[in-house]
Amino acid sequence: MRSEEAPAVAYGYAILTPRAQFLTPSAFSCPFAQTAQNPDILFLMLVRFSSGFIFFGLSSVLILLSSTATAVSAQTTPAEPAPVERSATALRFTSQRLDYWQKKLNLQDWHIAVALTPVSGLRQQTLGNVQWDLEKKTATIHVLDPADYHMPWQPMLLDMEFTVVHELIHLELAPILTDVKRSDANRRQEEFAVNHLAEALLQLDRTH
């Protein structure tokens, strides 16, 4: 979502679980046959190219993760605290995971913060979003507050980490996609690519 008052500022959205329902957009069935009829195909091809570019650019990250012998998620997921401490504990956890992934994704030149946000402060059917400023290289990742989650503690924390990684990948794509005319269709296609990138990174990280 582009801000008219501040053109460098934009948003990316994390899709509400279950995310799997968003991972099979019909536009992926035969994209080249649809190119002439579908103006969003150019965007789709760009997302695919940029996703491949990011995978290539992150190859050193993937190699580093694959050589890591620690089970990061199990090691850093805290035990469930008393109800009054849930939000503070979740904020510490997501901030730690942000620091971890920001380094892994080579985004240290960005100033990024996490904010726990009630469901009323998020777009409908989302678990979080990111607001960024390309010129200042600042960003805030909004993650759904634990008070509004309907999941057990440990799966909830892992899902919050997914949101963090998801939104960081939006930052990786931002310089490439900032001048692309946006539509609901190509936003869904972007989410498709971003979800797969996040899932791949997290799966690799959590199995080593």
pLDDT, position 24: 31
Q: Please report which confidence band the pLDDT of residue 13 belongs to, taking 50, 70 and 90 as the band edges.
A: low
Give how far Cα 162 sits from Cα of 4, 19, 42, Å. 29, 11, 28
The pTM score is 0.71
State the average pLDDT over residues 74-86: 83
54 within 8 A of 172, measured Cβ to Cβ: yes
For residue 159, pLDDT over 50 is answered with: yes
Residue carrying structure tokens 């035969």: 30
Across 168-187, average pLDDT: 87
pLDDT exceeds 70 at position 42? no
The whole-number pLDDT of residue 10 equals: 54
Task: Quote the pLDDT of residue 140.
Answer: 98
* Integer Cα distance of 137 and 14 in angstroms: 20
Distance from C-alpha of 170 to C-alpha of 94, rounded to nearest angstrom: 17
Q: Which of 31-40, 60-69, 79-88, 171-180 has the lowest mean pLDDT?
A: 31-40
pLDDT over 90 (residue 54): no
Q: What are the domain boundaries of the chain?
A: 9-20+39-206
Q: What is the mean pLDDT of the chain?
A: 74
pLDDT in tens, 104-126: 999 999 999 999 999 999 999 89
